[in-house]
Structure 1
Amino acid sequence: MIMIRAIIRPEKTDCVLASLMEAGFPAVTKFPVVGRGKQRGIKIGEITYDEISKNLIFTVVKPQDKDFVVKTIIKAARTGDKGAYGDGKIFITPVLESYTISSGIKELPSGELEEVKI
């Protein structure tokens, strides 16, 4: 299993979520975050904004779906044809195991399922 975390512009969030839903990946967690990238914030006139509002979305997918999901996010989150500074960043990490609380099922990267004894 692969976790995909994407930091995106707030105004692009609905488009990204709709694109993922349409592509068959409805399971997404989203929350607002603040931060800055390489550009070190934004300066408008005499005011510098160090922390810029973004949204963080993440999803867990099968390894064979990773590239497709990443491309779907990039296409939906990019500003214009070539993109712009501040469009965001995507991070990929392996997931060692996951647990479904309601059923007590543990899922391993191999796809193997195991019941957790409580």
Structure 2
Amino acid sequence: MSETLFDQLGGAAAVNAAVDIFYQKVLADGSLSPFFEGVSMQDQRDKQKAFLTVAFGGPYDYVGNDLTSSHARAVKRGLSDRHVNAVLGHLMKTLQELKVSGYLVVEIMKIAESTRNAVLGR
């Protein structure tokens, strides 16, 4: 049995660290931070950690909404491809900062990119 992407990354500790660093970058980005006004960032981080755990093949404990429903309010407020590109850029920088192996970065970025249309409600 081959290791999941979740296992290859280092499990929950690695996902937790990545999400925390990622949201520091996102919230520091003036083009993205307005989308998080009024959002409990602890809840947001917890949901993101659970979602990524599942997306990377870890234990299933995500109980949030689907991506389209979760982002509908942001789309109504103008969330666009430009914002998704910025988010992906922050994700890439986070993975590089954490010295994630190149082949794992490629796999993670493929997964992240595959959510674009659902996030944008298309």
Whether TM-score is above 0.5 comes out as no
TM-score (norm 1): 0.42
Higher normalized contact order (CA 8 Å, seq sep 6+, divided by chain length): 1
Q: Which has the larger radius of gyration?
A: 1
TM-score (norm 2): 0.41
Structure 1 or 2: more helix by fraction? 2
